[in-house]
Chain A
Amino acid sequence: MRLPYFQYHSPRSLKAAFMLLKKIDGKGLIMAGGTELLNRMKFRLIEPEHIISLSIIKNLGNISIRENQEIEIGTMAKLTDIAHFFEEIKPYKALHEAAYQVASMQIRNMATIGGNIFQDTRCMFYNRSRDWQRVVPPCHKRGGNICHAIKNSKRCLAVYQGDMAPILIALKAKAVFYTPDVFYEMPVEEVFSGNSREPFITGDKKILTSINLAPPERNLFSTYRKYRIRDGVDFPLAGIAVALHKDGDTVANLRLCLTGVAPQPVIVRDVENIANGTKLTEKIIKEIAEMAYNAAHPVANLEDTPDNRRFMVRQIAYDLLMEAIHVSR
């Protein structure tokens, strides 16, 4: 499979990249690692006329600890480097786990955190070969008005399967964007639109420069696990990220975020009402796992059945929280 024709640009600064993006006005895309973007181009799911690579802009790939102990992950930081960096930072261990479980070693050496967050939603009726596209009528995501996953669905149901976003959301990370006038930040969950066809709200005239994390706290425990058929390479069919703040024996705050079950990462609402201030007994954990189950609404558009995926959400949530109370003790 060859890529479609396009013009390649590699600006040296963020400003130059921004001006270029403005100049080509919607006819081009930003490329970070390229592992997901180039694949979609090979399948002719998108055919941008211009590709703007951020690869030679200085310092975008750094992971650093600032003076105030905040951790800044540059948008071009490779997943391999993220997995290494967070291996020893206990409160943020989940970032190590999530990055380490993405695809394969080769892909982790190319893929970046920015690209991972901004990966398109996926569906087994959309991410298909050109032959398939020729014989099967276009669905919502390909510009048509039908859905092959659920007949009569009025909207696209493609699934967001990123591994990094859920844990960043659970950890309340901030995404920092560049425009020539100002750097501004927003919580990671706010970049998602909830619409499978256009999964991100940021538009195309801003550039993600970094992800910022609060200083690591000793009483924080985080973890991430995903369900998939093969233990390598596969995207998550369901994934769960947990961030647990403890205050002595009791829970100060608990956040759960799911991936692979909806067009955007799903925060499990109201778990804090049940968990906070308690000792997180098995009974409460079962209740929380049930809430995660109820928050997940997978449909039949990935490799496993919706029932199985939903069941696994409940099971993994239970397992992770049971482990969390032992580990964080």
Chain B
Amino acid sequence: MSADNKRGKNREIIKLNVNGTDYHVLVEHRETLLEVLREKLQLTGTKDACNQGECGACTVLLDGRPVLACLVLAMEVRKKKITTIEGLAKDGGLTPIQESFIKYGAIQCGFCSPGMILTTTALLAENPKPTRRQIKKAIEGNICGCTGYNKIIEAIEAVRDKNMDEGS
């Protein structure tokens, strides 16, 4: 490996827009968005679990679309709007999806919840009336070891049904 590539050489100050706030952060080229969020911005709601793109615990929204923060370089998201679980609640009030997750017991240990809730947020923003099948398909990339998924699906369906009542 060339000397240039050694520790400390490949660093840059970049601007990241996280939850509506601009941050200027010094990042190494090799750092993933997950590392920057957790270690530099102290936004530890985004969880670090498998770190290889299989579990969905590190899900964040990039311009509204769920992606895995462990497989995105921080350098790649300079012009994007990043939303983490910390950015959902407004003025101390939880979103209907978060409320529903609590009400239906869809949160147990809570490790998958940030990713699960962000995936659901993106799903319902794109398709407010998903079928059970579409819900299952959407959360296929979020692994939960506690709930057995049924309570999570029930929580999402409750939000959907409420959407439907309001829509009709």
Residues of chain A touching chain B, judged by Cβ–Cβ distance below 8 Å, are 1-8, 10, 34-35, 38-39, 42-43, 47, 49, 51, 53, 55, 80, 103-107, 109-110, 231-233
Q: Which of A42, A47, A110 contacts B52 (CB 8 A)?
A: A42
A-chain residues with CB within 8 Å of residue B88 when the two chains form the complex: none
Q: Which of A7, A49, A53, A104 contacts B141 (CB 8 A)?
A: A104
Q: Is B114 an interface residue (CB 8 A)?
A: no
B-chain residues with CB within 8 Å of residue A47 when the two chains form the complex: 1
- Contact A6-B30, Cβ < 8 Å, known A39-B52, A106-B119: yes
Check A233 against B140 for contact (C-beta < 8 Å).
yes
Check B75 against A39 for contact (C-beta < 8 Å).
no
Check B140 against A104 for contact (C-beta < 8 Å).
yes
Residues of chain B touching chain A, judged by Cβ–Cβ distance below 8 Å, are 1-2, 4-7, 9-10, 28-32, 35, 51-54, 56, 59, 62, 65-68, 71-73, 75-76, 119, 122-123, 137-138, 140-142
B-chain residues with CB within 8 Å of residue A105 when the two chains form the complex: 66, 119, 122-123, 137-138, 140-141
A145 vs B6: C-alpha distance when bound (angstroms)? 31
Check A80 against B65 for contact (C-beta < 8 Å).
yes
A-chain residues with CB within 8 Å of residue B51 when the two chains form the complex: 1, 42
A218 vs B109: C-alpha distance when bound (angstroms)? 52
A105 vs B32: C-alpha distance when bound (angstroms)? 19
Check A109 against B30 for contact (C-beta < 8 Å).
no
Total contacts A-B at CB 8 Å: 100
- Contact A10-B75, Cβ < 8 Å, known A42-B52, A109-B62, A110-B67: yes
Check B1 against A38 for contact (C-beta < 8 Å).
no
Contacts A106-B67, A106-B141 given; 11 further ones with Cβ under 8 A?
A5-B1, A7-B9, A34-B73, A35-B53, A38-B73, A43-B52, A49-B2, A105-B66, A106-B53, A106-B56, A110-B67
Check A107 against B68 for contact (C-beta < 8 Å).
yes
B-chain residues with CB within 8 Å of residue A3 when the two chains form the complex: 30-32
**Majority secondary structure, A binding face:** loop
Shortest Cβ distance from B141 into A: residue: A104
A3 vs B32: C-alpha distance when bound (angstroms)? 8
Q: Which of B1, B59, B76 contacts A106 (CB 8 A)?
A: B59
* Closest Cβ–Cβ distance, residue B70 to chain A (whole Å): 8
Among B32, B51, B140: residue with most chain A CB under 10 A = B140
Shortest Cβ distance from B79 into A: residue: A56
List 26 A-B pairs, Cβ < 8 Å. A4-B30, A5-B6, A5-B7, A5-B10, A6-B30, A7-B4, A8-B30, A8-B75, A34-B72, A34-B76, A38-B71, A38-B73, A39-B53, A43-B52, A49-B2, A51-B29, A55-B76, A105-B66, A105-B122, A105-B140, A106-B53, A106-B66, A107-B68, A107-B141, A110-B71, A233-B141
* Closest Cβ–Cβ distance, residue B48 to chain A (whole Å): 10
Check A232 against B140 for contact (C-beta < 8 Å).
yes
* Closest Cβ–Cβ distance, residue A211 to chain B (whole Å): 22
Check B30 against A53 for contact (C-beta < 8 Å).
no
B-chain residues with CB within 8 Å of residue A109 when the two chains form the complex: 62, 65-67
